[in-house]
Structure 1
Amino acid sequence: MTAYDAVLFDSDGVLVEPPPVETQTNATRAAFRAVGVEDPDRQHVDAIVGGVTTETLQEICSAYDLEPATFWAARERHDEDSQLVEFRNGTRTQYDDVAALSGLPMEVNCGVVSNNHHSTIEFVLEHFELGPFFDTYYGREMTIESLQLKKPNTHYLDRALDDLSVSAESALYIGDSESDILAAERAGLESVFVRRPHCHEVELGVEPTYEVEDLYGVRQLAHR
């Protein structure tokens, strides 16, 4: 008997290595240059990289007299391109313990729910041949509006559960950030915090249901 009907995974920091801050910073600067801003304020660049809100994005664009939709389209394009380059050249890759997915119970449905672009998640699943493990997947659309739907908003978790026809009470969400754990809590799922090297010392403001060191620990939970 399995413990859950569905197990949902974050992508960056759980299935694959997270994007380096330097890569995201360079992509953001390239986006500014693409719309005619050669030397953006470092605080503005950092705000974009750090998880910008729609309100802050509007303020930043106003500072340069930019149309937000035009700048954001450039940012999303350069951000995704920078990620795909690193996946293709091997400087960013999947974690070795992703092999644990093959040991999950056959009757458990799996999905991916990420704050990254939907098209980037689609690339990751194809590039690393992970598609067969997952019954559904969601990233966000490349729109300003999608920023309001990022975790800890439960929007994409709810959609994944609907796709799998399972209740939140019978599902588990695997993440590497406080927003992941908070989103799971708000959606009614039990949660697992994976203490990867990049988040090993993080102090969470919300309590996950479980903590594990790697995805083999998740497999054990699924088999309880």
Structure 2
Amino acid sequence: MVLWDFDGPICRLFARHKAERVAAELVEWLELQGLHGLLSDAERDTLDPQVVLRAVDRRHPGSDLVAELEERLTQEELRAASSALPTAYADPLIRTWAAVGARLAITTNNSPRVVRAYLDGRGLTGCFAPHIYGRTADLHLLKPDPHCLNRALNGMGTAPSAALMIGDSPSDLAAADHAGVPFLGYARTDPKRKLLHESGAAHVVTSLEPLLTTLRH
């Protein structure tokens, strides 16, 4: 069983619809609601929309404000999905793994609606469905919490030791460690590779091509 993170190993979600702009627009919307002082300076200046969402959830968990902000982020992610760039070799690797009988799941902090929209567009939904485990209303359970990985393991009746997590961030690694799932890091850039190694990842690849080549042979 292979658990895939979505944004990174499968595609670059915000390759064209920039995450920095999405984060800035979420901050701007909060300020228009009269909530200028809600975020710290670091949170206000973040380049990551997930940071904004989680910061607001920590201060107003379960509120209508958080629900509205999450829906706004989901809509931006959906726009991004239409112009996302596939990660090199991801599509054929997914198809080949599915063809040889491996069971695949998505475990992501992005909205599952966004994942399905992207997979539909690539003709890949059948390789994963129904095992797409993404962001829920319980934002405190996002990775590095292992919640989505545990949902996938339980949903597919798989022991943690019989699975593999492919992720590109320290939060993916932490979630895999907490769930007891072996981890393979994917790093498109040297800084990401260094960060994963420094976070404790024992195995990191800079391309999915070696996995595809090994699988085909």
- Quickly name the TM-score band, shorter chain normalised: 0.7 to 0.9
Q: Structure 1 residue 15: deviation in Å?
A: 0.5
Pairing 1:22–2:12 present: no
Q: Structure 1 residue 156: deviation in Å?
A: 1.1
Question: Contact 1:34/1:74 (CA < 8 Å) preserved in 2?
Answer: no
Distance (whole Å) between structure 1 residues aligned to residue 135 and residue 201 of structure 2: 24
Pairing 1:185–2:177 present: yes
Please, which runs of 5 or more residues in structure 1 have no aligned partner?
Answer: 1-5, 62-66
Q: Structure 1 residue 175: deviation in Å?
A: 0.1
Q: Structure 1 residue 207: deviation in Å?
A: 2.5
Corresponding letter in the other structure for 1:23: R
Q: Of 54, 68, 71, which aligns to 1:77?
A: 71
Structure 1, residues 8-59: CA drift from partner, whole Å, max 9, x if none?
A: 10001111104333133233135315635579765443468353586x4367
Identical counterparts, % of pairs: 21
Q: Of 132, 153, 156, which aligns to 2:148?
A: 156
Pairing 1:195–2:193 present: no
Distance (whole Å) between structure 2 residues aligned to residue 40 and residue 149 of structure 1: 22
Question: Contact 1:192/1:210 (CA < 8 Å) preserved in 2?
Answer: yes
* TM-score (ref. length: structure 2): 0.79
Q: Which residue does 2:95 correspond to in 1?
A: 102
Distance (whole Å) between structure 2 residues aligned to residue 199 and residue 162 of structure 1: 30
Distance (whole Å) between structure 1 residues aligned to residue 150 and residue 122 of structure 2: 26
Equivalence map 1:23-62=2 (5 Å): 23-32=21-30, 35-37=33-35, 42-46=41-45, 49=49, 51=51, 56-57=55-56
Q: Which residue does 1:3 correspond to in 2?
A: none
Distance (whole Å) between structure 1 residues aligned to residue 116 and residue 32 of structure 2: 26
Corresponding letter in the other structure for 2:117: F
Q: Structure 1 residue 152: deviation in Å?
A: 1.6
* TM-score (ref. length: structure 1): 0.77
Question: Contact 2:53/2:70 (CA < 8 Å) preserved in 1?
Answer: no
Q: Structure 1 residue 151: deviation in Å?
A: 1.2
Distance (whole Å) between structure 2 residues aligned to residue 208 and residue 221 of structure 1: 21
For structure 1, which segment, 195-204 or 37-46, has the greater mean C-alpha deviation from structure 2 after superposition? 37-46
Partner SS, residue 195 of structure 2: coil
**Structure 1 residues 206 and 44: alpha-carbon distance in aligned structure 2, compared to 1, 3 A threshold:** closer
For structure 1, which segment, 33-42 or 122-131, has the greater mean C-alpha deviation from structure 2 after superposition? 33-42
Measured on the aligned residues, the alpha-carbon RMSD in Å equals: 3.0
**Structure 1 residues 159 and 58: alpha-carbon distance in aligned structure 2, compared to 1, 3 A threshold:** closer
Corresponding letter in the other structure for 2:209: Y
Corresponding letter in the other structure for 1:81: Q
How many residue pairs were aligned?
208
Higher relative contact order (CA 8 A, sep 6+): 1
Distance (whole Å) between structure 2 residues aligned to residue 170 and residue 58 of structure 1: 34
Question: Contact 1:7/1:108 (CA < 8 Å) preserved in 2?
Answer: yes
Question: Contact 1:31/1:71 (CA < 8 Å) preserved in 2?
Answer: no
Distance (whole Å) between structure 2 residues aligned to residue 165 and residue 196 of structure 1: 32
